Amino acid sequence: MTVYHKLIHGNMLNNYELGDITPEQALEQGYKPLIQAEREENKEYAVSYNEDETIPQMTSLNKICLHWTAGSNSPCNTDIKAYHFLIDSNGRIYPGTHKPEDNLNCKDGNYAAHCGGGNTGCIGLSVCGMAGFSLHKKETKYPITQKQVETLCCLTAYLTIKYGIIIKENSVFTHNEFDSKKAKPEGKIDITYLPYLPNLQIIRIGGYLRNKAEWYRKKIKEGKYKLEKKGSYYEFICVC
């Protein structure tokens, strides 16, 4: 049975399961299918929330891939070209060479090539670190920090609001999750280990990150977190 919602001033209200009326009658009464209602709720919020009016509010950007750089805890030139946003060990956010919108069309070669086979419409976020890491040894001179991961999830939440992306496994995922679903996986291991949670199973890490992003999404909508530019980087500020 299809669940419909009515969108009123940016809030999904009046849930209704189709029973005695047809879908056409439901639409006439102002109800819309769940996914459409959620996307319009995101769009309405983004219109008032987006600080950069030059960026289109609704685009076909519909995925976010979460990475680590496999380098040091600070971004290098190679990292800047590969990802849309990078996060250092202090939680500072650095924009990459390419804007997310560059990945709307990957045929021109001018885009962030962060996720082989899945770059089109996909925003690439990366925490800096984990050089030399392997799942066998689980050692690195540049472990990613909890601060980085918290910022990663907060930035993910911010971008899902901005671009109307719903947080679920097929739209917000780790590079490892994406790679493991390929017919011929390439062995991508980001993000399969969190140094501050060494016992968290690989299979649970994606869900852990998505749950955190959902929490930050709610807090951002409540006005609890604000993104501020500080010179060459950005930071999220908690507004308590």
Angle at 112 between CA 106 and CA 118, to 5 degrees: 60
Dig out the tokens for 145 from the structure.
Answer: 């920090």
**C-alpha to C-alpha distance for 216 and 26, rounded to whole angstroms:** 33
Q: How confident is the model at residue 60 (pLDDT cuts 50, 70, 90)?
A: confident
**C-alpha to C-alpha distance for 174 and 30, rounded to whole angstroms:** 37
pLDDT in tens, 180-208: 999 999 999 999 999 999 999 999 999 99
Count of Cβ atoms closer than 10 Å to residue 220 Cβ: 21
Backbone angles phi, psi at 226, to 5 degrees: -130, 135
DSSP state, residue 143: P
Q: How confident is the model at residue 8 (pLDDT cuts 50, 70, 90)?
A: very low
Which residue did the predictor score with more confidence, 44 or 99? Answer: 99
**C-alpha to C-alpha distance for 127 and 30, rounded to whole angstroms:** 43
Architecture category of domain 63-238 in CATH: 3-Layer(aba) Sandwich (3.40)
pLDDT (0 to 100) of residue 24 = 52
pLDDT in tens, 13-58: 333 333 444 555 554 555 444 444 444 444 433 333 333 333 333 3
Residues 6 or more apart whose CB falls under 8 angstroms from that of 205 comprise 174, 191, 192, 193, 194
Distance between alpha carbon 170 and the CA centroid of its chain, in Å?
Answer: 11
pLDDT (0 to 100) of residue 34 = 42
Residue 52 burial by Cβ neighbours in a 10 Å radius (0-12, 13-18, 19+): exposed
pLDDT (0 to 100) of residue 51 = 36
pLDDT (0 to 100) of residue 99 = 97
Q: Tell me whether strands 233-238 and 225-230 are parallel, antiparallel or unpaired.
A: antiparallel
Which residues of the chain does CATH 3.40.80.10 include? Answer: 63-238
Average confidence score pLDDT of the chain? 83
User: From residue 47, how far is each of 99, 103, 116, 123 by CA, in Å?
Assistant: 19, 22, 32, 20
Q: Which residue has the tokens 């097929």?
A: 170
